[in-house]
Amino acid sequence: MTRPLIHFSSARNWLNDPNGLIFHDGRYHLYFQYNPHGADHGFMSWGHASSTDLVAWQELPIAIRYTAEHEIFSGSAVFDASNTSGLAADGAAPLVAVFTLADRAAGHQSQGIASSADGGLTWSMFPGNPVLDRGSADFRDPKVFRYSGARGEYWVMVAVEAMQRKVVLYRSDDLRRWEFLSEYGPRGTAFGVWECPDLFPLPVDGDPREVRWVLIVSMNPGGLAGGSGTMYVVGSFDGVRFTPDLAIPEVEAGAESSEAELAALDWVDYGRDCYAGVTFAGLPDEDRILMAWMSNWDYAEQMPPLGAEPQRGAMTLARRLSLVTADGRIRLRQEPIGPALRPIGAVAEAEVRPGAPLTLDVPTPSRIRLRLRLDHGASAQLRFGEELAPAAVLHLHDGELALDRRIGAAEFPDAFGSVERMPVRGGGLDAVLWLDNGSIELFADDGTAVLTDRLAERSSDCVTLHAVGGSVRIDELIVEAGEVDPA
């Protein structure tokens, strides 16, 4: 398969969860789970890339390497502007990374820190590690942020007891000594393990007087679409405890969640390939940006390697987050951040009838802006690639959008072939689709419904819109494309 053009992937070897996302000194830093020795999962270290625009990424040397004792699992990074940690070098306030030390022999997991005096290029391990140890084999993925409220100002760590399906919260004044605050869960789902939490405030509908907190938790398995998935919960945080706005039932260990119970939860993404997403530190609260790993643990380790050198794993596009009120409830809105592309084709105020499909050239990479309506009883099909073996088919009918990627998945792992389903509002579709080599990210209903899937490569650079059982009315269809430097 060909490497993606507008999604970050390492030049070689294995990549998974984004780590340590931070904006500092005019650059966005993306650290990530990385195997220095090959394209399989193992020897977990922190790879590193940086960007000035979240689009063009420069891969840099490994930031934090595994040791004989520990692998370096997921975590976060903060700018310790007041040097609360005492780790400043030559008077310069440090960046501090907080991550899981995964004991390679005993399977024990605890939290460690490292500091950087050169803007995140090189890191020094804190000699007093670990800084937090619960005596657990599954205590991981710390996300740290600076809290300021009625209780004062201090660091908060949000981590998980993965097997217990609990989010655990701690506070610290110096990033070295941590005090337990509270826990959340298990709630909402009884499947899998919980991983990679994040907790952050956002204004509702842009109103700074109405701020809610969003808790993100990834789980594997247990995603709505199967395998890995990420839910979000809107609520309040008082500096100690997170409380959801809506009643979310507690679940017991060993219980099984029904499909209806999973569908009732709020999901960051309805696709199968958006996991472990977390947000950037170093930005204003209202400028909240998320990136995620674009794969699924059901098949990630069996996917065909990309490019001339063996490589597995890529990231989603960066997404700007906000909270909006839709259908009487608060929802997470995601706006993709992609490269500037030029319009190459457009259709407006047109009708597609059964038996008379519309075909458009759609090269890679591209963005499709699409607004269409359906006659009563009609459905729409958007086929990507040659008619006999498209990479995927989008099917819209009766308020549901389904993506079928089974046709083009013959060379992929058995678990890959699937159909993802997402509810959409109204009697049509209002969406933006980003297409790259081997992937689609679809943002519908003003970004409140998102579906991300890896795809087989298209056999041709075209899409075909079919109408079935009635007419499809195109309000707007704009194709944008252009040359993009994958470096």
Query: Could you tell me if 390 and 264 lie in one domain?
Result: no
Asked if the structure places residue 2 within a domain, the reply is no
- Dihedral over alpha carbons 376, 382, 387, 390 (to 10 degrees): -140
Asked if the structure places residue 200 within a domain, the reply is yes
Asked if the structure places residue 6 within a domain, the reply is no
Handedness of CA 55, 271, 142, 150 (dihedral sign): positive
Catalytically annotated residues: 17
Query: Could you tell me if 351 and 446 lie in one domain?
Result: yes
Q: What's the CA gap between 308 and 71, in Å, rounded?
A: 27
Which residue pairs, CB below 8 angstroms and at least 24 apart, start in 102-107? 102/44, 102/70, 102/71, 102/72, 102/73, 102/140, 103/69, 103/70, 104/66, 104/68, 104/69, 104/70, 104/71, 105/69, 107/137
Using the 3D structure, point to which of 290, 316, 337 is the last residue of a domain.
337
Query: Could you tell me if 75 and 110 lie in one domain?
Result: yes
Query: Could you tell me if 269 and 359 lie in one domain?
Result: no
Query: Could you tell me if 376 and 317 lie in one domain?
Result: no
Residue 430 and residue 445 in contact, taking contact as beta carbons nearer than 8 Å: yes
- Number of other residues whose CB lies within 10 A of the CB of residue 344: 15
Query: Could you tell me if 324 and 354 lie in one domain?
Result: no
Residue 457 and residue 1 in contact, taking contact as beta carbons nearer than 8 Å: yes
Asked if the structure places residue 363 within a domain, the reply is yes
Query: How much is the pLDDT for 486?
Result: 46
Residue whose C-alpha is closest to residue 49's, from 36, 38, 58: 58
Query: Could you tell me if 367 and 305 lie in one domain?
Result: no
Domain count, the chain: 2
Query: How much is the pLDDT for 487?
Result: 44
Asked if the structure places residue 444 within a domain, the reply is yes
**pTM of the shown model:** 0.97
- Number of other residues whose CB lies within 10 A of the CB of residue 308: 9
Using the 3D structure, point to which of 297, 312, 337 is the last residue of a domain.
337
Query: Could you tell me if 22 and 102 lie in one domain?
Result: yes
Handedness of CA 218, 220, 222, 226 (dihedral sign): positive
Query: How much is the pLDDT for 79?
Result: 98
Domain with residue 228: its CATH number is: 2.115.10.20
Helix residue ranges per DSSP H, 200-278: 259-263
Query: How much is the pLDDT for 270?
Result: 98
Asked if the structure places residue 170 within a domain, the reply is yes
Query: Could you tell me if 195 and 299 lie in one domain?
Result: yes
Query: Could you tell me if 373 and 398 lie in one domain?
Result: yes
Asked if the structure places residue 486 within a domain, the reply is no
Q: What is the identity of the amino acid at 418?
A: S
Residue spans of beta strands (DSSP E) within 119-177: 124-125, 132-136, 139-149, 152-161, 166-172
Q: What's the CA gap between 66 and 33, in Å, rounded?
A: 11
Domain with residue 376: its CATH number is: 2.60.120.560
Query: Could you tell me if 441 and 372 lie in one domain?
Result: yes
* Digitized pLDDT (tens) for each residue of the chain, 487 residues in all: 789 999 999 999 999 999 999 999 999 999 999 999 999 999 999 999 999 999 999 999 999 999 999 999 999 999 999 999 999 988 899 999 999 999 999 899 999 999 999 999 999 999 999 999 999 999 999 999 999 998 999 999 999 999 999 999 999 999 999 999 999 999 988 678 999 999 999 999 999 999 999 999 999 998 999 999 999 999 999 999 999 999 888 887 667 778 888 889 999 999 999 999 999 999 999 899 999 999 999 999 999 998 788 999 999 999 999 999 998 999 999 999 999 999 999 999 999 999 999 999 999 999 999 999 999 899 999 999 888 778 999 999 999 999 999 987 888 999 999 999 999 998 899 999 999 999 999 999 999 999 999 999 888 899 999 999 999 999 999 999 987 654 4
Query: Could you tell me if 367 and 252 lie in one domain?
Result: no
Asked if the structure places residue 8 within a domain, the reply is no
- And the tokens for 44? 């977990």
**The domain containing residue 234 runs over which residues?**
13-337
Using the 3D structure, point to which of 337, 364, 399 is the last residue of a domain.
337
